[in-house]
Amino acid sequence: MNLEFAWPLLILLLPVPFLVTSLVPRARAQSVAALRIPFYGAVYANLAENAVSPSRLRLWLAVLAWVLLVLSAARPQYVGEPVQLPVSGRDLMLAVDISGSMQTEDMMLGNQTSSRLMAVKAVAGQFIDRREGDRVGLILFGRQAYLQTPLTFDRETTSDLLFEAAIGLAGKETAIGDAIGLAVKRLREEAEENRVLILLTDGANTAGRIDPLKAADLAAQEGIRIYTIGVGANERVVRDFFGTRRVPSSELDEKTLLAIAGKTGGRYFRARDIKGLQEIYRLLDELEPAASADETFRPVAELYQWPLLAALLFSVMAAFATSGLPRRSRLREVENAG
């Protein structure tokens, strides 16, 4: 039963009329002059034999009206089942490098060597799935930066579009500054709090019209935190005519990525393997926790108007009962007059 009272203590007022009746002495009855007409006395006497006592009826109607008034004052409410509140979390933009160097196979995914982009897809996809309550967007960048998914609560679509990203789709070079600039443009239109950009790359800025550090300054002005992730092993093994040898894995510009994070109040992370990448996203979950989905509310429907209306109806009925048939005392007088 979901019926509750907002002010249940008012129900204690129910016995007040009975206490007043019991404790306060009754007023003395006053004799009322009456015109004694034998004919009408006989008529009323006949009605009195077949009628319910108006005083008794009036008493019960008054009792019901009082009970309903007290119940109405206690504010009965119908409380519905708990409803989960729509959560409002962070506006989180993910910028992923899909330049030519991201096809370098120096990451281990399971028991197999994998490209950097495939490793990023696997781990970032899990990260997106965990961001319940956040709006997540996706930017893909190479020589140019493209908005692949605007900020949305549809995390499944964002994850699917990340998995569909292909090397070279945005060009072979890397425009880190343009990616940051595009993210700032999209995030600045949203609420000022909890704007976050996660930028993931394996190289240095080699293209684009915006300098990465100037873009970082603009992001800082807009209150956007940028977390930068450098992907790729320090070295990789290559096979050629002379056998196998180790070569530097990438030209990662860690100095610039560290400066971008520092300017915006974020952090820089280095992911040399799949485990490192997983650990980074776990730390990001702690630094930027997803919105809690535990808040609920129970809809409340006020019901006080119904007992109030019924009390008014019984009060009207009691008034008619008073002005209807004569009291028994008067009937006796009329009978005596006959």
Task: Give per-residue pLDDT as tens, 201-249.
Answer: 988 898 889 999 999 999 999 999 999 998 887 655 455 554 444 445 5
CATH of segment(s) 91-287 = 3.40.50.410
Percentage of the chain exceeding pLDDT 70:
75
Give the pLDDT band (50/70/90) at residue 334: very low
**Residue 157 CB partners (closer than 8 Å, separation 6+):** 149
Buried b (16+ CB within 10 A) or exposed e, 158-184: bbeebeebebeebbbbbbbbbbbbbbb
CA distance 31 to 54: 19
- Quickly list H helices, the chain: 16-23, 38-50, 54-73, 116-130, 155-163, 176-187, 212-221, 254-264, 274-287, 305-322, 328-337
Contact of 194 with 161, CB cutoff 8 Å: no
Roughly what angle, to the nearest 10 degrees, separates helices 38-50 and 328-337?
Answer: 140
Ramachandran bin of 133, using left for φ above 0, alpha for ψ from -120 to 50, beta for the remaining angles: left
Task: Give per-residue pLDDT as tens, 245-276.
Answer: 444 555 788 899 999 999 999 999 988 878 88
Per-domain residue ranges for the chain? 3-21+32-81+298-337, 91-287
Task: Give per-residue pLDDT as tens, 26-54.
Answer: 766 555 555 555 544 554 455 455 444 56
Q: Mean pLDDT, the chain, as a whole number?
A: 79
329 or 310: whose pLDDT is higher?
310
CA distance 325 to 53: 8
Both structure tokens of 85: 């509140």
CA distance 137 to 123: 16
Burial class (CB within 10 angstroms; exposed 0-12, middle 13-18, buried 19+) of 272: middle
Percentage of the chain exceeding pLDDT 90:
28
Amino acid sitting at position 132 = E
Residue-level pLDDT at 228: 93
Residue-level pLDDT at 331: 45
